[in-house]
Amino acid sequence: VGEGGEVFELVERDGLARIGRFETPHGVVETPILLPVVHADPDHQGISPSEMREKWGVEAIITSSYILHENAELKDKARHEGLHRLLDFHGTIMTDSGAFQQHVYGDVAVTPEEIILYQNEIGTDIATVLDRFIEPGASRQDAEQGVEETLLRAMEARDKRGQRLLAVPIQGGLYKELRERSALGSSALGDVLCVGGIVPLFETYRFADITRVMTNLRPSLPPEKPVHLFGMGHPMVFALGALLGGDIFDTSSYHKFAKRGALLFPEGSVDLESVREDVCGCKLCAQTPLTKVKELPRGERELHLARHNLNQCLLEMKRVRQAIRDGELWELAERRSTSHPALLAALREATASPDAFLPYEPPSRKSFLILSELSQHRPAVVRFQRNLAKYVSGRGPGIPVAGQRLTSRQLSRAPPEIRQDPADPTLWMTTTPLGPVPLELTEVYPLGCLVGPDEFAAFNTEMPQVPEAEEDEEDSPDEDKEEESTSTQAKSSSDAPDSQTAERWATRHALGIVEWCWGRAARTALSGKQFNLRHSRASGRLREIILDGAVLFVIGNDGLPMPTFLGAKFLHGILPFPSMRVIANEDAAPFVSSGRSLFSRHVISADKAVGPGQHVLVVDINDGLLGVGRTLMAAQEMGRFTRGMAVRVTAHRPGD
Ligand SMILES: [Zn+2]
């Protein structure tokens, strides 16, 4: 295990949430990961760590080095046997260092140096710096002292951690600037960054404050390091936590709630006492139904609940990972937010800070379901609206049309005088769930794949507000010199528009989506060329933009154009450096131009506007075009991750 960011690799992502490979001395684990909190004393464990590993495939746990250190017998046993043997767990073990005891008792009987050395001695995988715990109500002065003190301790710990990874807590209470300072200071010191001081917020359902802490903090966190959200151990908050960029979670709740007779579910907690129906069908509760569990002796009952609870926690973390892979984490977080008003408040708080999410927001996802009032405030919609404002600015007056999609039926309703000139009237589709949108953009993400209640209810047919709508029909003669020789193969049905209108509309559609992605200069350049279009015979959807018999852009299911190498060349000639560029170093250039992907460590720099999931031009240091591809990272992440792919190259310079 090396220095800095070499232990964490980004594999997949959905906004701030990420699937990562985290390498620890006892193996690679996949994040977001849940670490069950295990009591350091085997007599107090309930579920043993080996059972967790065998039955549920738990790869990593967390335990308290402080408890071991304060237990005369275990202290030396752990030294001699090592932590992994003591706990009979041979996966990844993280240790904390008494911060929790500090929170509960106000003080601990160990120095920061003693406890870091001890963690090294017992062979933990991830040692945690003993931080100064800052309560949410702390004064600014106290919080500031805590931040300084914790940073000082982290600096000292850096040299004393031995072969261990170092987790550095980020403090600062609810003070944005202090959190930022703490994050920046910790960045160079920790292998894992722990957002500390949020347990009291979690325990009192102040989830909105947790959101605020995270949206304030995220821009200051180094992207190449895993982030641990300390103590957010209830399955109802995992989706929210991952959405905010949490990579590592821990849970003691599975055990604590069992002790007080409560069942954990992603929808909330249930008191066993109140259970009259066998409301859980998990493997354990199928074996021993909950109504029978109530009658078990105390010890057995607690163990059943602890197992059920841990199982629910692990299962929810799997759902979170699946949702990230599917690009559906916002949907999952919204579903969970209906379980408790505090979660709803937290998600509302997240939508109030779109700029924390937008740099990592993908250009599209497979689907977009409207699930609550918050859906229309997701970052994807905010960005769509911002792009829309840019797109329509300076365009001439518009004409409202009703309908839903850019279908041949819609085309047939298009007034015949409409052409592709930006000064021509914009046809505003007034009936979309995102408000009035120019007809040519209605297949673009998120609108194109959006499913909302409007589709199942009567349409609101309000007139668009921008720009002023006009109904007058100028019967200006067609200026044929401007006409593109486009050929479309619109589905021939009784609805089919006359072929000339269809052609004009197809042209406007193509130019519209090119402008949407790459601006007006790209549109102007393309409209000056004799391009052709190919539509899908089956669906009638635009599939390709073709120039001189070669495909420039392939239109995806997200309604957005993807450049081929020729398309990339076209854009390269139009967009000024460093627009849309990722610059590969000398070592990588020949590989990229032969179609290999570009790794983060080979990136010299990138256009700051580049986010994950975007099409980019991969160039050499002299702006020579090597290939085109789709990013996995945002510009500010490239080069910082020492592992992993920055751009998956989709097309490259043809070989000589
Ligand atoms: Zn169950």
Show the 3-state SS of 337-384: HCCCHHHHHHHHHHHCCHHHHHHHCCCCCCCEECCCCCHHHCHHHHHH
Any idea which of 36-50, 445-459, 566-580 has the lowest mean pLDDT? Answer: 445-459
Over residues 437-444, mean pLDDT: 90
Span 336-355, pLDDT tens digits:
999 999 999 999 999 999 99
Spatial strand order in the sheet of 645-652 = 598-599, 645-652, 625-631, 615-619, 581-584, 603-606
Q: Is the pLDDT of residue 652 over 50?
A: yes
- pLDDT for residue 399: 78
Question: Ligand 1 center to residue 326 CA distance, Å?
Answer: 26
What are the start-end ranges of the E strands in 402-469?
Answer: 426-429, 437-438, 450-451
Name the residue with higher pLDDT: 383 or 43: 383
Q: Is the pLDDT of residue 487 over 60?
A: no
- pLDDT for residue 446: 96
Question: Ligand 1 center to residue 307 CA distance, Å?
Answer: 8
Question: Ligand 1 center to residue 266 CA distance, Å?
Answer: 12
What are the start-end ranges of the E strands in 227-353?
Answer: 227-229, 248-251, 262-265, 268-271
What is the DSSP secondary structure assignment for residue 646, as one 8-state letter? E
Please identify which of the residues 14, 96, 209, 424 carries the catalytic annotation. 96
List of residues 6+ apart from 196 with CB closer than 8 A: 99, 131, 133, 134, 169, 170, 171, 230
Q: Is the pLDDT of residue 276 over 70?
A: yes
- pLDDT for residue 523: 95
CB atoms within 10 A of CB 234: 25
- pLDDT for residue 655: 75
Question: Ligand 1 center to residue 257 CA distance, Å?
Answer: 14
Question: Ligand 1 center to residue 262 CA distance, Å?
Answer: 11
Over residues 259-283, mean pLDDT: 96
Measured distance CA(218)–CA(21) in Å, rounded: 20
Q: Is the pLDDT of residue 218 over 70?
A: yes
- pLDDT for residue 104: 80
Question: Ligand 1 center to residue 39 CA distance, Å?
Answer: 23
What is the DSSP secondary structure assignment for residue 37, as one 8-state letter? B
Give Cα separations from 128 to 232, 250, 643 (angstroms): 17, 14, 24
List of residues 6+ apart from 121 with CB closer than 8 A: 79
Span 75-99, pLDDT tens digits:
999 999 999 999 999 999 999 998 7
Q: Is the pLDDT of residue 423 over 60?
A: no
Question: Ligand 1 center to residue 201 CA distance, Å?
Answer: 27
Residue 540's pLDDT band, with cuts at 50, 70 and 90, is confident
Over residues 286-307, mean pLDDT: 97
- pLDDT for residue 265: 98
Measured distance CA(644)–CA(18) in Å, rounded: 13
Q: Reduce the DSSP state of residue 435 to 3 states and report it.
A: coil
Question: Ligand 1 center to residue 268 CA distance, Å?
Answer: 13
Over residues 233-253, mean pLDDT: 97
Beta partners for residue 31, in sequence order: 20
Over residues 122-146, mean pLDDT: 92
Show the 3-state SS of 116-151: HHHHHHCCCCEEECCCCCCCCCCCHHHHHHHHHHHH
Q: Could you tell me the two tokens for 366?
A: 């497979």
Query: How high is the mean pLDDT of the chain?
Result: 88
Q: Is the pLDDT of residue 317 over 80?
A: yes
Distance, CA of 436 to chain centre: 28
Distance, CA of 308 to chain centre: 29
Name the residue with higher pLDDT: 244 or 656: 244
| Residues 439/409, Cβ–Cβ less than 8 Å | no
Nearest to 301 by CA among 267, 263, 269, 266: 263
Q: Is 250 a catalytic residue?
A: no
Q: Is the pLDDT of residue 308 over 90?
A: yes
| Residues 643/589, Cβ–Cβ less than 8 Å | no
Span 581-607, pLDDT tens digits:
999 999 999 999 999 999 999 999 999
Residue 409's pLDDT band, with cuts at 50, 70 and 90, is low
Residue 470's pLDDT band, with cuts at 50, 70 and 90, is very low
* Residue found under tokens 């160079």: 188
Question: Ligand 1 center to residue 291 CA distance, Å?
Answer: 11
- pLDDT for residue 480: 34
Q: Is 272 exposed, middle or buried (0-12, 13-18, 19+ CB in 10 A)?
A: buried
Q: Is the pLDDT of residue 482 over 50?
A: no
Question: Ligand 1 center to residue 261 CA distance, Å?
Answer: 13
Q: Is the pLDDT of residue 454 over 80?
A: no
